[in-house]
Structure 1
């Protein structure tokens, strides 16, 4: 699967936030290349039909699940970005079969999850949670006997063994923090190479039974797969030390909750702390295997959250969607979990190699090679793709295979440009002298034919031609970052407010480029009219201001 995504022949691609309503972080990154809508749904039954039919990209948190039957409801979907690390709420195999790229944001909340894990461990060892709860409920503690009674079971940390199952980003961060508190650290992770234990100064266990037997406290930091589901069950709990602790800030399905509940009631497991549960959202009032268990701490799947990490996660997800729109999907995606399978063609749904958003003028990227263009399709007869022969030089300024990188593209003399292109086409491998001679001739023509330029700002220059009936032609300085940068919209640092900058950039890519050139070569075609952005396809449900405001789309 390659190419860019499109939402039809003329409209912007539609991007939907499935299970949320706040798009304030995502809009600055996506507003110039896509229409953004939010659904605030908990299942696909609550998603608007327009999203199901037209959305080419979806953002989602952990509160909605996409199984095969859910994914099949989306008719145009090409990429799903999970805001967070885990993709266990997405049927990745089905998505691959349907030609849908699945992405995540794996590196943005490592510190928060590690800090929360250590916090829960300390709470269980020092009984902080239960002591605070007793005081808040009115328990008066005035003497040493009452302190002893209330704090009985508090445990010293030093020299206890913390077993970490899964030594990835979070597992490693937990190990480094726990060592500072005096824990001995051991870990089990069959996917890591030899020597990791020595580099970190911790002990390695080579099977699950070994780490369960050695550890005074177990913390889980592995993904939920068919192999890891219910890895903590009746049999494995019996192999743990009596009075051990269990912490889970990874995935609820790793623990068989019925087995954990029985072991907590019997005292074999001294205490447990769970930020994730088999069924979420967790209801403490519902009758389940963990109800009426006093020695357990429940938190609502929030170990990942801080104000900083939440913003970072959303920025990473929005940038991944932008890469899918202005780049090639899945080639240019940085965190696509099924990229290799998609590139290998393991999909049933026909895929397209055309542009993702060919009609969104603000997504034009001059640094991205175009494909399938010819001399007749280019600017004033000049190609914008790779069909011209290239000079055998390492200097990219002379590489006509991508003339958009060539400084002659700033030449107002289209005759000089045409001359240079014709010379390159007729003698593609002539010597350096001939090439430099042609370049010198073109530069000379540029010098003699260019109109005086009145410099207005470091970024934007306006040139007036007496032959253009006082019409102005605007050019962008090479110092300005292209508006289609995968990392976000360009910024014109001339004091223009952001909203006006966006409008200005759109003007530069449409009206300005269609202005008449002061010098035209005979027979040269006029500049192509860059199509303007249209959201007419959303007129019935999307207001006109949706270019800068997320749209709420409810199920009908």
Structure 2
């Protein structure tokens, strides 16, 4: 198994070289030899590692192209490669950061930190305000918000159990909410969800918070609406192009804007938890692909000759749609004792094995 990393983790802490893999290496040591590679790209990885590595773990600062992937001899086999995430890591940190952005917009603490001699004019009370969530969350209700949410992937009826209001269309949420918080992942269906048309459906004087993905918002449309005073303010944690700079881009002259670096996931505890979780996910192979995010393509396109398809976790991880992955784990699914070949016999697929689980939606 290969661990690939730069010495500096973007938007994270500096670690001494001896500590970079101290968390990861002990977990799979009884199953595999672990090779740590301190490199800037996959082109610098030693030939022996490329030839023998069955598992491959990297931080998001390393780019993995198709050409780079083909250099890994074991991972080139037609059985395919499973991509897994670790959805439970840094959930608390990200949720708390989102709440901080919402509170800062209402209380204007950040916006008033420079003119400290002036009264924090424009601060608003939260009780009675409606918070609209694109996705789902529970923390805001404790602050006095009336919560409305839109989440097409969440099981029906949960809103009744929790005493929350659910809408069927995002436009309904925009119209009802005093503050809108984007929490969803980015896909082809919600790209530029907040655009020149939808942003005009927001309430006059509403807030917008984006701690999800930069591609969800058309920043030119947002900048124009901020300059016109149609909404009271916006807070961004994620940007389409990072690192973000106030000196350039559509938002450079926009008023009432809070922008923070991509660090909502980080705490010392979350960093260690994430590193342990990603190696544990690799160690679980081949018994289970519990957090596999490309399962449907993997099963359809690849003949499974080594691992029984029933070893797959029966549910596609629901967090795939909503939570941004931290570290990417990529595993070759062929155990070291099995010779690599393009002519391995296939296991017949049982009728019904590839059906969607009823709770996936």
User: 58, 61, 80: which is aligned to 1:60?
Assistant: 58
Task: Find the counterpart in structure 2 of residue 371 from structure 1.
Answer: none
Find the partner of 1:334 among 285, 290, 305. 290
After superposition, the Cα gap between the structure-2 partners of 1:216 and 1:355, relative to the gap in structure 1 and judged at 3 Å, is closer
Aligned 8 A contact 2:23 2:275 in 1: yes
- The root-mean-square deviation of aligned C-alpha atoms, in Å, is 2.7
TM-aligned CA distance change 1:224 to 1:52, over 3 Å: farther
Any gaps of 5 or more consecutive residues in structure 2?
10-16, 308-332, 339-361
Q: Is the 8 A contact 1:261 1:290 kept in 2?
A: yes
Residue 202 to residue 301, structure 1, CA distance change in 2 (3 Å)? same
Q: Which string of whole-angstrom CA distances, capped at 9 and with x for unpartnered residues, describes residues 142-184 of structure 1?
A: xxxx32xxx22211111110000012xxxx2xxx321111111
Matches of 1:27 and 1:249, distance apart in 2: 32
Alignment of 1:129 onto 2:110: yes
Deviation at 1:351, TM superposition (A): 7.1
C-alpha change, 1:261 and 1:16, in structure 2 (3 Å) is same
Q: How much does 1:230 deviate?
A: 1.1
Please report the TM-score for the alignment, with normalisation by the length of structure 2: 0.75
- Cα drift, residue 97 of structure 1: 8.0
Superposition map of 1:171-250 within 5 A: 172=137, 176-250=138-212
State the Cα distance separating 1:226 from its structure 2 match: 0.9
Q: Is 1:17 matched with 2:4?
A: yes
Asked if 1 retains the 8 angstrom alpha-carbon contact of 2:55 and 2:282, the reply is yes
Question: Which TM-score applies when normalising by structure 1?
Answer: 0.50
Q: Say whether the 8 Å CA contact 2:93–2:264 is kept in structure 1.
A: yes
CA offset at residue 295 of structure 1?
1.6
Give the counterpart of 1:163 among 127, 132, 137.
132
The structure with the greater share of residues assigned to helix is 1
Mapping for residues 20-419 of structure 1, pairs under 5 Å: 22-32=20-30, 33-41=32-40, 44=42, 51-77=49-75, 99-135=80-116, 141=117, 146-147=118-119, 151-167=120-136, 172=137, 176-285=138-247, 287-324=248-285, 328=286, 331-344=287-300, 346-347=301-302, 356-358=335-337
Count how many residue pairs are aligned between Structure 1 and Structure 2: 301
Q: CA deviation at 1:45?
A: 5.3
Structure-2 change in CA distance of 1:132 and 1:246 (3 Å): same
The 8 Å contact of residues 147 and 164 in structure 2, kept in 1 or not, is answered as yes
Alpha-carbon shift at residue 305 of structure 1 (Å) = 1.2
Q: Describe the SS at the equivalent of 1:28.
A: coil
Deviation sequence 1:490-518 (CA, Å, 0-9, x none): xxxxxxxxxxxxxxxxxxxxxxxxxxxxx
Q: How far apart in 2 are the matches of 1:35 and 1:246?
A: 45
Where do 5+ consecutive residues of structure 1 fail to align? 1-13, 79-95, 136-140, 360-556
- Whether contact under 8 Å (2:25, 2:34) holds in the other structure is no
Pick closer, same or farther for the CA change 1:318–1:280 going to 2, 3 Å.
Answer: same
Deviation at residue 134 of structure 1 after TM alignment = 3.3
Answer whether contact 2:212 2:238 (CA < 8 A) is retained. Answer: yes
Evaluate the alpha carbon distance shift between residue 220 and residue 31 of structure 1 in structure 2; reply closer, same or farther with a 3 A threshold: same
